[in-house]
Amino acid sequence: MSWLPNLKTETAEEGFELAIKLSRMAVKKTQPDDATRTKLRDDYANSADSLTLASQVVATNFQTVAAANDYWR
Amino acid sequence: MSWLPNLKTETAEEGFELAIKLSRMAVKKTQPDDATRTKLRDDYANSADSLTLASQVVATNFQTVAAANDYWR
Amino acid sequence: MSWLPNLKTETAEEGFELAIKLSRMAVKKTQPDDATRTKLRDDYANSADSLTLASQVVATNFQTVAAANDYWR
Amino acid sequence: MSWLPNLKTETAEEGFELAIKLSRMAVKKTQPDDATRTKLRDDYANSADSLTLASQVVATNFQTVAAANDYWR
Amino acid sequence: MSWLPNLKTETAEEGFELAIKLSRMAVKKTQPDDATRTKLRDDYANSADSLTLASQVVATNFQTVAAANDYWR
Amino acid sequence: MSWLPNLKTETAEEGFELAIKLSRMAVKKTQPDDATRTKLRDDYANSADSLTLASQVVATNFQTVAAANDYWR
């Protein structure tokens, strides 16, 4: 089964979760090693700017998911 | 109850507040520990570039919220 | 009275000013202390990259304001 | 044959793969030497912020691919 | 007379020039001192990453100008 | 003759090439000296993050070119 068959979600909150998933999946595709990603996670989860950059990626993906769902209007 | 049932707001100002909330929520999802986030907040609230990066995330989320509300036209 | 009742402006130039205002307001919401912001302003107003990052935020907000005004067509 | 005849994909997942391809192709056009890119890959695959920046590029390209496919609706 | 009455240009090339103007104007609004900006220009015109960041701002503004002109279609 | 009469391309691949051209042209407008740009190119072509930032600019310009061509649908 596909991890991303489409971009449809029931609510805006689920759409936000999907945006987070997309952001992490792009990282996983570049660094597939789970142990390395876990180690790096400790780094950026304790850096203000790293968290802000991560939030920027989520915001960009949320634009896509929101448009795909016609903004849950 | 969902923290984000939809993206509808009454005014542009409330939409801007929602954009800020989305920006912070993405950080919270990556760093759920309140004490750590509070400590980091002191860091970036006193760095010009950190504040600018945070403002960039808000701007990106505000694009989404504004589109969802048809720009409050 | 709201500081942002809507995104409507008469001209593109006023829209650009509103984009600057939105960019600064996001900073203010994170760092509400006026004295701190004034001090930080001296920092980034003398750094080329800081000014470019600030210009990026304005550009992003200007996209939103321009769309809201149907590009003043 | 063109490496990018169009932006059409069957599913959102394939669209995400195309977004990754676009992101890497832009790098390849600037640094065409395979050995250099492989060496640099080791660098950024072990840096949290580098991975986040790469994820940002994928998110931006995914916006384009998703729009091109009418969000696989 | 307004420096930006509207976003209309005759050609895509003129639109690109307008995007550059918008990018610089945002900098000027933050750092109005001509001598300081000239000095900073020497800095970033000799840094690869600074030039790339500046190019990012132009790209963002060009999106706005292009949409305003219906992509000169 | 204009270097950018319009944003029309035959294929998505040509559109991607145009996005690269736009990204480089913005740099050239800020640093017109060919020798300096060539020297800087050596710098960023050997830095993972510099290449990622450059890829981000291309992605942003590709959004514009793709929209201008109705995504080559």
D28 band by pLDDT with thresholds 50, 70 and 90:
very high
B47 neighbourhood in chain A, CB within 8 Å: 48
D61 neighbourhood in chain A, CB within 8 Å: none
CA distance B49 to chain C (A): 6
E22 band by pLDDT with thresholds 50, 70 and 90:
very high
The F-side interface with D (CB below 8 A) comprises: 11-13, 16, 20, 44-49, 51-56, 58-60, 62-63, 66-67, 71-73
B51 band by pLDDT with thresholds 50, 70 and 90:
very high
Per the CB < 8 Å rule, is F52 touching D68? no
Residues of chain A with pLDDT under 50: none
Averaged confidence pLDDT in chain D: 96
E18 band by pLDDT with thresholds 50, 70 and 90:
very high
Mean pLDDT of B33-54: 95
Residues of chain C with pLDDT under 70: none
b/e string for D15-38 if b means 16 or more Cβ within 10 A?
bbbbbbebbbbbbebbbeeeeebe
Could you tell me which residues come within 8 angstroms of residue B10 by beta carbon, excluding any fewer than 6 positions away?
none
Mean pLDDT of E59-65: 98
**CA neighbours within 13 Å on the CB side: how many for B7?**
32
Where along chain C do its domains lie? Answer: 12-72
E69 band by pLDDT with thresholds 50, 70 and 90:
very high
The rounded distance, in Å, linking the Cα atoms of E55 and E62 is 10
- C–E interface: beta-carbon pairs under 8 A: 93
Confidence check on the interface: ipTM exceeds 0.90, yes or no: yes
Residue E1 reports pLDDT greater than 90: no
The rounded distance, in Å, linking the Cα atoms of F59 and E52 is 13
Chains C and D make contact, 3+ CB pairs within 8 Å: no
* pLDDT tens track for F15-72: 999 999 999 999 999 999 999 999 999 889 999 999 999 999 999 999 999 999 999 9
Mean pLDDT of D32-60: 95
Per-residue pLDDT, C43: 87
Which CA distances in Å does B15 have to A66, B10, C3, C56, D31? 15, 8, 12, 21, 42
What percent of chain B stands above pLDDT 90?
Answer: 93
